[in-house]
Structure 1
Amino acid sequence: PDGVLGFGRDPGPRTILSEPETPSEREADLFAGALRRLTPHAIVSYGLVVANVAVWVTMVTAGVSARSPGVEALIAYGANQGALTAAEGQWWRLVSATFVHVGLAHLAFNMLALLQIGPLVERLLGNGAFVVAYVLAGVVGSLASLLYHPPALVSAGASGAIFGVIGALLAVVVTQRDSIPHGELRRLRLSALSFVGYNLVVGLVVPAIDMAAHLGGLAAGFVVALPLARPIVGEPSRARPLLIGAVAAMGALAVAGLTLLT
């Protein structure tokens, strides 16, 4: 993504000399505390950042340009290209392409966005559900890019998956209106819609941006997260692992079906 707007707000401890909390600050504190209890550690988001950076470091260490890698290098490290992914049956590129970036600036923008958005949505969904939403959104984004662009075009980057995280957040906002405090719900909705709107405008202006991957990932993240969204209070259902597994399986089948269209 090319724009990062404010998402996470995790208030730290206040000193005895602090200003008294306003009602909105108290609401934010309670919401942040509930999220930390719901999902104590957002390990997946940070792990994804490490993995993306590790791929870039590996490429640079091997002699690939840090700022502007060539097409051959991108393909060698797993970028998405219709002539290889579909025509040659290299479907693994649908996943690997989400970890390959076209230079340091591309990587930095995407990882900044993931750090801003990922931990919040991971705490809302839970670690396992977040993995499912992120991976499926990234794969569907890669497929959308494949279907929309000519076979020779090369695409790469985590932005389709990151748009999927935004889609997942919108699904939570839609399904958990009674669970999330009103002020926080409004802030999350505004931030998510602003993020999408800003990046859509930028995508219309900058031709190099893969809008097909963005929109495909956004839609996939929303659909996948609809059954996975959960209240921020109360005990988790014992059947939740089965639900996550079922959604992952159905998502994989849907992706397999979509590959038949390519």
Structure 2
Amino acid sequence: MSSGPRHILDAPGGGNEPRGGGHPFGTPPPPQSPQPRPWVCYAIIGLCVAVFLLEEAGQLPSFTARQLPLGALYGPAVQEGQYWRLLACALEHGGILHLVFNMSVVVTLGFTLERGIGSLRFFGLSLVTALGSSVFSLLFNFDTPMVGASGMILGWAGAMLPIATRQGRRELGIWLVQVAVLSLLPFVSWSGHLGGFLFGLPCGIALRQGRQVYALALPIILFLSALVALYAAHPERRGAF
């Protein structure tokens, strides 16, 4: 995501300003209202940094200590009932570069989306996309520990596509192609990225229909996401579904 993230989402009344900018030769533009604070993104960044620092200080299990982190997504652990890992894995990171890269995208992409749709709607969306990322990771890499917020973040991009401006869709498309290439590298979870993105799309379609439709659709999408996550977490029971 490059410069001008505030222009990615559709906004009413855009594009009607005169080119010359009026004041003092015309009507001065109305003062801009302060942007809402992205509280959910602040919480995500704070929790991710706190978890990383506690692991570096040896206060929590970590990969560097050759232990499975408390939040890492690991199929056998989830299968045994550690369901918090389905969401907590989005707060775990494998190193400082991994953390910095993901948090920079939270700032550029997450701030824009949360301010555009509101914190409560964004929180629900984030739960869905984090679960979607975990679902695909369990389906395709059940025995491999997975960490990182990137799957959830890719879900934000999926939700933004239906509500983005033409310029925004171009920028998102370029960024998504870059991520798709990176997803083919070793130690990068293509399944988590794809799962988050695909689960974000229906949320974006509901957002496109308006706030009332989204308010009705989100609990249903979240419930179905949780059911699919339980299905992915228990391969021994799949024959019973």
TM-score higher than 0.5 here?
Answer: yes
Structure 2 CA distance for aligned equivalents of residues 159 and 187 of structure 1: 23
Structure 1 CA distance for aligned equivalents of residues 95 and 21 of structure 2: 39
Tell me if the contact between 2:161 and 2:172 (Cα under 8 Å) persists in the aligned partners: yes
Following TM superposition, the consecutive aligned residue runs of length 4 or more in structure 1 with deviations greater than 4 angstroms are 21-26, 63-66
Q: Which of 148, 163, 166 matches 2:154?
A: 163
Q: 1:77 and 1:5, CA in 2 relative to 1: closer, same or farther beyond 3 A?
A: farther
Unpaired segments of 5 or more residues in structure 2?
A: 8-16, 23-28, 236-241
Is residue 48 from structure 1 mapped to residue 39 from structure 2 by the alignment?
no
TM-score, normalising length from structure 1?
0.72
- CA shift digits 1:157-188 (9 cap, x unpaired): 00011101111111212xxxxxxxxxxx2221
Equivalent in the alignment of 1:200 = 180
Equivalent in the alignment of 1:82 = 75
Deviation at 1:221, TM superposition (A): 1.3
Deviation at 1:6, TM superposition (A): 3.9
User: What RMSD in Å do the two structures reach over aligned CA positions?
Assistant: 2.9
Q: 1:23 and 1:155, CA in 2 relative to 1: closer, same or farther beyond 3 A?
A: farther
Deviation at 1:106, TM superposition (A): 0.6
Tell me if the contact between 1:7 and 1:188 (Cα under 8 Å) persists in the aligned partners: no
Equivalent in the alignment of 2:64 = 69
Structure 2 CA distance for aligned equivalents of residues 156 and 24 of structure 1: 50
Structure 1 CA distance for aligned equivalents of residues 57 and 190 of structure 2: 30
| Helix, strand or coil at the partner of 1:76 | coil
| Helix, strand or coil at the partner of 1:170 | helix
TM-score, normalising length from structure 2?
0.78
Is residue 145 from structure 1 mapped to residue 145 from structure 2 by the alignment?
no
Unpaired segments of 5 or more residues in structure 1?
A: 11-20, 174-184, 232-236
Matches within 5 A, 1:1-262: 4-6=1-3, 8-9=5-6, 23=19, 40-62=36-58, 69-72=64-67, 75-85=68-78, 87-149=79-141, 151-173=142-164, 185-204=165-184, 206-229=185-208, 240=212, 243-244=214-215, 246-258=216-228, 259-261=230-232, 262=235
Tell me if the contact between 2:158 and 2:200 (Cα under 8 Å) persists in the aligned partners: yes
- CA shift digits 1:93-134 (9 cap, x unpaired): 010111000011110010011111111111221111111111
Paired residues, number? 215
